Amino acid sequence: MNRLHSAPTLVFLWLALLALPGTLLADRIVMKNGDIITGRVTRVDAQEVTIDPPYTKAFAVKRDAVASIRTDEPLEAELQDGARVRAQFAGVQDGKQVVQLDESAAPIETAAIHHATPPRPFYARESRAEGTVTVNEGNTVSRSAIFDFDTRLRLGDHRQYARFLYRRDENDGQTTKKQTRGSYEYDWLFRRGWYTAVTGAYERDPIRDLGHRFTFGALLGHDFIDSGPTFLTIKAGAGYTDENLGEIVQDGAVGLWELEFRHRFAVRRLEFVHEHALTYQNYGANNMIVAANTGLRLDVLWDIYATANYRYNYESEPAPGRFGKDSTLTFGLGAKF
């Protein structure tokens, strides 16, 4: 009889456990002043602990003001010697913060950890398509179209980045821009934000008398900031270029430099982006080529956003009779998928 009555009771208790507030299953930070903060710990380093509570946006507290940290799941930690481990913060024991590694490993001191973050998914992909079309009619008739597509793919410590740019400008029936550019990059992340990269790019613009330009390179890069809303990476290296510029075919070694910066503001709907690439040709007239893009993205609806971009291109030694500078301010729409 008792067993029959105990079954509904067990079911009720199980349902009650499932209905418990999420905070009981959340990470927990205890401050030295006694405050307790629950949520999801998103970063731990020597200076700060960042937590994302369910009732407000994520914020950081000073590490030396924290008495203890407890995480429900292991974090992906990088030690001071560069080794990567999975570490779980298990609160305080005997007055010391406990950080537990694998079940077979002994706890370690928090000072041995350079930083710790929730593990990233092994697979991640983001693709974007941006377009700008402008038509002016009146005393002058001009048309401009720019389509920019890119895809970023991450598989563990391996990243791939492909991009395609198509641009056509026309003024009073005369084509003034006819640019096509495609590029591909492969990165291997090997230590604390450091990575090696190989790149390949193709560009053509008959209006600039650029019949073709193939560039291949090997670079060393570093992700200086990769903290969610902010990303900054810089890479430099050397490569080889083969081009037909002004009906002169030449090739040789080149120096390469690239920078990419993105920051999503606290309002979460606005993102600032800047990227530039510099190629210095160590042959011929020692042409220096700069391509830069600075812009804003404003979320509009779902994965659709408005864009404002300032594009700047420069060549120190353009084809005879051509300008070395080209700048454009554009407004358009983009989509993530």
| Residue 3 predicted with pLDDT over 60 | no
Say whether pTM exceeds 0.95: no
Please state the rounded mean pLDDT for residues 161-165: 97
**Residues 184-230: tens digit of each pLDDT:** 999 999 987 899 999 999 999 998 899 999 999 999 999 998 877 89
**pLDDT at position 96, please?**
83
Q: Could you give all domains of the chain from N- to C-terminal order, each with its CATH number?
A: 2-117 (no CATH), 123-336 (2.40.160.40)
Q: What SS3 state is found at 179?
A: strand
**pLDDT at position 93, please?**
82
| Residue 6 predicted with pLDDT over 80 | no
Query: Higher confidence at residue 11 or residue 131?
Result: 131
**pLDDT at position 141, please?**
64
Please state the rounded mean pLDDT for residues 107-133: 87
Kindly write down the DSSP assignment for every residue of 80-103, as one continuous string.
Answer: TTS-EEEEEEEEEETTEEEEE-ST
Our CA angle for 176, 181, 187, nearest 5°, is 155
**pLDDT at position 10, please?**
55
Beta partners for residue 185, in sequence order: 161, 199
| Residue 11 predicted with pLDDT over 60 | no
Distances in whole angstroms, Cα of residue 240 to Cα of each of 220, 231, 284, 301, 327: 16, 28, 13, 43, 26
Beta partners for residue 233, in sequence order: 223, 260
**pLDDT at position 234, please?**
98
Half-sphere exposure of 95 (CA within 13 A, CB side): 0
**pLDDT at position 18, please?**
47
| Residue 1 predicted with pLDDT over 60 | no
82 backbone dihedrals φ, ψ, rounded to 5°: 95, -10
Tally of helices (H runs) and strands (E runs) in the chain: 1, 21
Beta carbons of 223 and 233 less than 8 angstroms apart: yes
**Residues 230-286: tens digit of each pLDDT:** 999 999 999 999 999 988 999 999 999 999 999 988 776 899 999 999 999 999 989
Beta carbons of 115 and 44 less than 8 angstroms apart: yes
